Chains A and B, each alone.
Chain A
Amino acid sequence: MATPLKRVRGLGAAHGGTETFWRQRMTAIANIPLVLFLILSIITHIGATYDEVHAYLARPLVALALLALVVSAAIHMRIGLKEIIEDYVHGGAKVTAILLATFFAAGVGLASVVAILKISLGS
């Protein structure tokens, strides 16, 4: 008759519950100051030389903020793209589209991470 509460608490049919909803909100909140920091960083370096830009991005706190941004943004983007795909694409194409969206988010996110690490740790 009754469904054991311990088996359903926090878990929907997809066994994911509200994790995705919550993760999208957490990354959204994190993205606000981090995006503002990126905009400020870019605008204060308009017309700067390569060495100036490189030296700025190599600073530990700047690298930290940018790493946080690209990781948070990649997770946020993957959830958002997946949600749009699930609404408009169906069947086998949906699986392919979600796969591509996930690879894209991981790809640009990781490429950015490698670049930031190389700038801050490399010679």
Chain B
Amino acid sequence: MGNAKMGAERPLSPHLQIYRPMLTMMMSIAHRVSGASLAIGFLLLAWWLLAISLGPEPYAQVSGFFGSIVGRTLLFLFSWALIHHMLGGIRHLIWDTGRGLDKVSIEVFAWATIIGSTTLTVLLWVVGYWLKGAF
């Protein structure tokens, strides 16, 4: 059946690269990217726990890193990815029950996830800085 030439002339299904970016598609990608990046977050958590188990000096080193600009940026991105992935996951769990799969609901869920994760992350950091006595 079919040689290479014929295969090339057959109509092809649209490839990812020629789709107009859609919100729901971006949310799907964001769920994967946030999930995969949480692997780095898990590494940070393991490092933090190990440092505490090893004693005050290793803990001071880790705290020093997390307090630096690079550390704080990593922690901010980690917390955002975590909250975004959690809200996105709750969305998936709702879909698993067969609810919220209509066109309007998926758009509402998408915006709720984006706005919710950003708001909660910023709120978390404001509370964090407030507890630290920054203002």
A contact residues vs B (CB 8 Å cutoff): 25, 28-29, 31-32, 35, 38-39, 43-44, 46-47, 50, 53-54, 57, 66, 70, 73-74, 77, 80-81, 84, 104-105, 108-109, 111-112, 114-116, 118-119, 122
Contact = CB atoms under 8 A, between A and B. Distances in A.
Contacts of B86: 31-32, 35
7 contacts: A32-B86, A35-B82, A39-B82, A70-B46, A112-B46, A112-B50, A119-B49
A47 B60 contact: no
B127 A28 contact: no
A54 B53 CA distance: 8
B127 A112 contact: no
Given A112-B49, A119-B53, A43 B128 contact: yes
Given A50-B56, A118-B53, A39 B89 contact: no
Contacts, number: 85
Interface residues of B, number: 30
A57 B38 CA distance: 22
Chain A contact residues: helix, strand, loop or mixed: helix
A44 B50 CA distance: 20
Chain B contact residues: helix, strand, loop or mixed: helix
Interface in B78-122: 79, 82, 86, 89-90, 92-93, 96
B133 interface: yes
Given A25-B96, A112-B46, A43 B52 contact: no
Nearest to B35: A80
Given A43-B127, A84-B36, A32 B90 contact: yes
Given A46-B132, A80-B35, 13 more contacts: A31-B86, A32-B89, A32-B90, A43-B128, A50-B60, A57-B52, A70-B42, A70-B45, A73-B42, A74-B42, A77-B39, A109-B46, A115-B53
B53 A114 contact: yes
A43 B48 CA distance: 14
